Amino acid sequence: MTTVTHLECSVCGKRREAAKVHNLCECSGPLLVLYDLEQAKATWSRDTLTKGPSSMWRYAPVLPVRDQASIISLGEGMTPMLETRRLGARLGARDLWVKDEGLNPTGSFKARGLSCAVSMCVELGIHKVAIPSAGNAASALAAYAAAAGIEAHIFMPRDVPQSNYIECKAFGAHVTLVDGLISDCGRMVAERKDVEGWFDISTLKEPYRIEGKKTMGYEVAEQLDWTLPDAIFYPAGGGVGLIGMWKAFGEMEALGWISNKRPKMIAVQTEGCQPVVRAFERGESKSEFWENAHTVAAGLRVPKPLGDALMLDAIRKSGGTAIAVSDEELLDGSLELGADEGIFAAPEGGACVAALRKLLASGFLKPEERIVLYNTGAGLKYLEAFSTRFPRATSSEQDKLGGLITPR
């Protein structure tokens, strides 16, 4: 199983024992999990991966769970890597792929992080957890907590997609709807967790969600025969998936599985909430709180991501960029991906299509480069966002068009 050695603060470098309950470092820096990669290299090879499970747990030696019995899995990971010839031809990208995370349990990439984090809760004896969420992380936590028999307390903005709220209730979670943003939900968790006995499983406030999400980096390498693409587009709200993939690339190089070539990491945000884009353009190492954040892409409405410094570092070291698109553009992008390729992407995935169009037009990317877009969720979870594009005809309107079917 795991080759984990210890935890280390991403800011001050202080070490922590791995088999203990941790949130942030005293300096408020997120903790990262480190492994004995020399031991892993000696006992594990990429050629043996096909003998493992068809899930993210095929990478167990570089995941933190020590006891296999602690693993809570619903089949997350190993999502398809799909070549998009029609969309690519129309946009002018000759080697374009989509990694479709919408086919994970609960319909989003959040399943990866919460599978790992909840498994560690089981291993560490944690029985109550709490999370602030813009939607999909809440659904994933509710599902994995239910599978583990752990009590889940969820705080979501009142205007989250209806599917997320219903999922959480169906999985038996305790749900509080908040008049505000995810930042307000986070504040409520922080204020109550000690009194209520909750473990705070917020993004990067515990060290293990990033470990589940980093498996997207292992998979993109495995599915592209161990040669990383030239560019990766990632819709970045909290940005942990981007941070996790960057961590995975370093681990794989140490294992001897890939070269030192890295893709340009491209963070995509929306015009109504773009703190990382603003920080990138200003040359700053951290972002500032984005006031009056608004977007139909609920997962991108994160006004101040905790991992902003890690995200900006990865973007700059990779020669990547950060870019914002409008809500209209990202909805169009989702519908283009659906009509061209049969992939009904979440608005966050559609944002990557819109961003690709802009970066090809500007010359930042070349038509011949291999490009991977991450669709982080299923479009079916955002029907309210798409319903404005497809209003239903009334019976009288449909009858005039000759399309009314009268029941017998």
- Judge if pTM exceeds 0.85: yes
- List, for residues 195-228, the tens digit of each pLDDT value: 999 999 998 899 999 999 999 999 999 999 999 9
Element (H, E) at 200: strand 199-200
- pLDDT at position 161 over 90: no
- pLDDT at position 127 over 50: yes
Q: How confident is the model at residue 182 (pLDDT cuts 50, 70, 90)?
A: confident
What DSSP assignment string belongs to 310-322?
HHHHHHHHTT-EE
Radius of gyration (Cα) for the chain, nearest Å? 21
- All structural domains of the chain, each given as residue ranges with its CATH number in brackets, are 77-390 (3.40.50.1100)
- Residue 146: CA count within 13 A, CB half-sphere: 17
Cβ 267 vs Cβ 311: under 8 Å: yes
Q: How confident is the model at residue 407 (pLDDT cuts 50, 70, 90)?
A: very low
Beta bridge partners of 375: 100
Cβ 294 vs Cβ 273: under 8 Å: yes
Q: How confident is the model at residue 245 (pLDDT cuts 50, 70, 90)?
A: very high
Fill in the amino acid letter for 131.
I
Give the Å distances, CA to CA, from 106 to 89, 121, 191: 32, 20, 28
Q: How confident is the model at residue 181 (pLDDT cuts 50, 70, 90)?
A: confident
Q: How confident is the model at residue 140 (pLDDT cuts 50, 70, 90)?
A: very high
- List, for residues 19-61, the tens digit of each pLDDT value: 899 999 999 999 999 999 999 999 999 999 999 999 999 999 9
- List, for residues 251-265, the tens digit of each pLDDT value: 999 999 999 999 999
Average pLDDT of the residues in 344-370: 98
Give the Å distances, CA to CA, from 255 to 41, 59, 62, 151, 250: 5, 12, 10, 38, 9
